Amino acid sequence: MGKCVCIIAEFRHGAFRRVTYEVASEGKRIADALGIGLWAVAAGSGVAEKAAELGRYGVEKVLVIDDPALENYLAEAYVPAVADAVAKCDPAAVILSASVDGKDLGARLAARLKAGLAQDCTQIVCENGKIKAKRPIFAGKCFGWCEWAEGALPIVSCRPNVMDCLAPMEDKKAEVEKVQVSVADLRSKVKSIDLDTSGKVELTEAEIIVSGGRGMKGPENYALLEDMAKVLGAAVGASRAAVDSGWRPHADQVGQTGKVVNPNLYIAVGISGAIQHLAGMGSSKFIVAINKDAEAPIFSKADYGVVEDLFTFVPALTEEVRKLKSSCS
Partner 1 sequence: MNVAVLLKQTPDTESVIRIASDGKSVATDDLKWIVNPYDEFAVEAALRLKEKHGGTVTIISWGPQRVVESVRTALAMGADSAVLIDDPALEASDGLGVATALAAAVKQINPDLVLCGSRAVDYDQAQRGPMVAEFLGWPHLALAVSIDSDGQTVTIERAIEGGKVVLESSLPALVTFGGSHAVWNPRYASLPGIMKAKKKPLAVKKLADLGVDASEAGAAKVRMTSLEMPLQRAAGKVIDGGLDMAAKAVELVRALHEEAKVI
**Binding-site ranges for ligand FAD (CB under 6 A):** 213-215, 239-242, 253-258, 270-272, 274, 276-277, 280, 291-293, 296, 309-311
Beta bridge partners of 10: 43
Shorter beta-carbon distance to ligand FAD: residue 106 or 255 = 255
Shorter beta-carbon distance to partner 1: residue 181 or 208 = 208
- Tell me how many degrees the CA angle 120-27-23 measures, rounded to the nearest 5: 50
Closest to 21 in 3D by CA, of 69, 48, 58, 66: 58
Q: How far is the CB of 164 from partner 1 (least distance, A)?
A: 17
Shorter beta-carbon distance to partner 1: residue 145 or 177 = 145
Burial label, 239 (beta-carbon count in 10 A; 0-12, 13-18, 19+): buried
Cα 263 to Cα 162: distance, rounded to the nearest angstrom: 9
CA 154 to chain centroid, in Å, comes to 19
Residue 36, contacted partner among partner 1, ligand FAD, none, CB below 5-8 A by kind: none
User: Do 252 and 271 form a contact (C-beta atoms < 8 A)?
Assistant: no
DSSP state of 253: B
Residue 127, contacted partner among partner 1, ligand FAD, none, CB below 5-8 A by kind: none
Q: Could you give the 3-state DSSP secondary structure of residue 25?
A: helix
Shorter beta-carbon distance to partner 1: residue 25 or 204 = 204
Q: What is the DSSP string of 43-109?
A: EESSGGGTGGGGGGGT--EEEEEE-GGGSS--HHHHHHHHHHHHHHH-EEEEEEE-SHHHHHHHHHH
Residue 214, contacted partner among partner 1, ligand FAD, none, CB below 5-8 A by kind: ligand FAD
Shorter beta-carbon distance to ligand FAD: residue 293 or 320 = 293
Residue 305, contacted partner among ligand FAD, partner 1, none, CB below 5-8 A by kind: partner 1
Shorter beta-carbon distance to partner 1: residue 176 or 234 = 234
Q: How far is the CB of 206 from ligand FAD (least distance, A)?
A: 17
Residue 167, contacted partner among ligand FAD, partner 1, none, CB below 5-8 A by kind: none
Q: How far is the CB of 214 from partner 1 (least distance, A)?
A: 13
Shorter beta-carbon distance to partner 1: residue 63 or 317 = 317
Residue 88, contacted partner among partner 1, ligand FAD, none, CB below 5-8 A by kind: none
Q: How far is the CB of 102 from ligand FAD (least distance, A)?
A: 21
Q: How far is the CB of 320 from ligand FAD (least distance, A)?
A: 17
Q: How far is the CB of 147 from partner 1 (least distance, A)?
A: 5
Q: Could you give the 3-state DSSP secondary structure of residue 121?
A: strand
Beta bridge partners of 16: 11
Q: How far is the CB of 168 from partner 1 (least distance, A)?
A: 23
Cα 321 to Cα 310: distance, rounded to the nearest angstrom: 16
Q: Which amino acid does the sequence have at 25?
A: S
